[in-house]
């Protein structure tokens, strides 16, 4: 009974953290949404109205992405292994690369795909792993590109084999994350202060960690000197 009560208290404590964090992270975009709505109502010029409505759509999309990510994390934690299929890791890497190469090019970022090895097909939940890889790249594009002039603006998406499994990782040249802060960065809503100015919530890395554990693997952050290596390791 004491063990059950202890687990229940842990669940309730985590639930309070999640709800408090969700309320905190939603407050700013919702406040901006209200302000822009009030401004749009007062605008009479058609061009200015279109601009105001565009801002409303952007803020609405942000809120929707945050809520969608919460749902995706919850679903991934309870997904059945019946939905696992044999998947070529190299195919997943190529699919994600095709999706983000135009985004990186538009932002003036060199996007490198390095398939060092070609492991055998793995039993995976294809959609969840694809989403996790997309989050890896998206996080690097948002946080892993140095802003100073002359710095190397490059992101590498790498597939390689390791003694402990198959690794798919993204290497960037940004500010990185201090070793003491990496565990916090992978928690739900565990955004670091340095990332608070970037729209979104601390959910992308938490989803990757959840997907890794679902597959019996792990998600780790390491130093790229300079920059960050965000690595998804799947058992081979």
What would the DSSP string read from start to end of 46-94? HHHHHHHHHHHHHHHHHHHHHHHHHHHHHHHHT--GGG-EEE-HHHHHH
Q: What is the pLDDT of residue 196?
A: 35
**Among the listed residues 232, 200, 213, the one whose alpha carbon sits nearest the alpha carbon of residue 134:** 232
Count Cβ neighbours within 10 Å for each residue of 206-228 and write b for 16 or more, e otherwise: bbbbbbbebbebebbbbebeebb
**Among the listed residues 130, 129, 117, the one whose alpha carbon sits nearest the alpha carbon of residue 162:** 117
Share of the chain above pLDDT 90, in %: 33
Q: Is the pLDDT of residue 192 over 60?
A: no
Please name the helix (run of DSSP H) or strand (run of DSSP E) that holds residue 197, with its range, or none. none
The β-bridge relationship of strands 228-234 and 110-115 is: unpaired
Starting from the edge strand earliest in sequence, which strands make up the sheet with 154-162, in order? Answer: 110-115, 154-162, 165-171, 228-234, 218-223
- Tens digits of per-residue pLDDT, 19-46? 555 555 566 667 777 887 887 888 788 8
Other beta carbons less than 10 A from residue 143's beta carbon: 21
Please indicate whether residue 162 or residue 66 has the higher confidence score (pLDDT): 162
Enumerate residues 6+ apart whose C-beta is below 8 A from 214. Answer: 76, 77, 79, 125, 128
Average pLDDT score, the chain: 79
| pLDDT average, residue stretch 47-62 | 77
Structural domains of the chain, with CATH: 2-77 (1.10.287.130), 82-234 (3.30.565.10)
Where does the pLDDT of residue 165 fall: very low under 50, low under 70, confident under 90, or very high at 90 and above? very high
* Rounded Cα gap, residues 216 and 166, in angstroms: 12
On whether the CB atoms of residues 117 and 161 are closer than 8 A, the answer is yes
Please indicate whether residue 62 or residue 226 has the higher confidence score (pLDDT): 226
| pLDDT average, residue stretch 44-50 | 81
**Among the listed residues 154, 120, 161, 116, the one whose alpha carbon sits nearest the alpha carbon of residue 137:** 154
Please indicate whether residue 206 or residue 190 has the higher confidence score (pLDDT): 206
Mean pLDDT comparison of 2-16, 86-100, 145-159, highest-scoring range: 86-100
- Tens digits of per-residue pLDDT, 98-156? 989 999 999 999 999 999 999 999 999 888 898 889 889 988 998 888 877 777 899 99
234 by DSSP, 3-state: which?
strand
**Among the listed residues 175, 177, 234, the one whose alpha carbon sits nearest the alpha carbon of residue 208:** 234
Q: Is the pLDDT of residue 73 over 90?
A: no
* Rounded Cα gap, residues 72 and 82, in angstroms: 18
Where does the pLDDT of residue 4 fall: very low under 50, low under 70, confident under 90, or very high at 90 and above? low
DSSP assignment string, 122-164 = EEE-HHHHHHHHHHHHHHHHHHSS--STT---EEEEEEEEETT
Please indicate whether residue 67 or residue 226 has the higher confidence score (pLDDT): 226
* Rounded Cα gap, residues 146 and 218, in angstroms: 27
Residue 168 DSSP symbol: E
* Rounded Cα gap, residues 205 and 186, in angstroms: 5
95 by DSSP, 3-state: which?
helix
């Amino acid at each position: 009974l004491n063990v059950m009560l202890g687990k229940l208290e842990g669940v309730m404590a985590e639930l309070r953290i999640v709800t408090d964090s969700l309320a905190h992270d939603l407050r700013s975009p919702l406040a901006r949404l209200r302000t822009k709505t009030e401004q749009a109502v007062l605008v009479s010029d058609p061009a200015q109205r279109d601009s105001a409505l565009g801002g409303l759509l952007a803020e609405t999309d942000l809120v929707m992405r945050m809520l969608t990510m919460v749902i995706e994390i919850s679903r991934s934690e309870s997904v059945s292994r019946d939905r696992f299929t044999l998947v070529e890791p190299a195919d997943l890497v190529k699919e994600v690369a095709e999706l983000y190469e135009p985004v990186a090019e538009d932002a003036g970022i060199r996007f490198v795909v390095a398939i060092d090895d070609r492991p055998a097909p793995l039993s995976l939940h294809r959609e969840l792993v694809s989403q996790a890889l997309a989050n890896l790249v998206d996080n690097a594009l948002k946080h892993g590109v140095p802003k100073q002039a002359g710095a190397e603006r490059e992101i590498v998406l790498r597939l390689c084999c390791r003694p402990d499994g198959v690794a798919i990782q993204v290497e960037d040249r940004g500010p990185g994350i201090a070793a003491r802060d990496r565990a916090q960065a992978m928690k739900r809503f565990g955004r670091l202060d340095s990332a608070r100015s970037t729209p979104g919530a601390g959910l992308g890395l938490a989803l990757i960690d959840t997907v890794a554990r679902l597959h019996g693997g792990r998600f780790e952050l390491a130093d790229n000197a300079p920059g960050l290596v965000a690595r998804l390791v799947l058992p081979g």
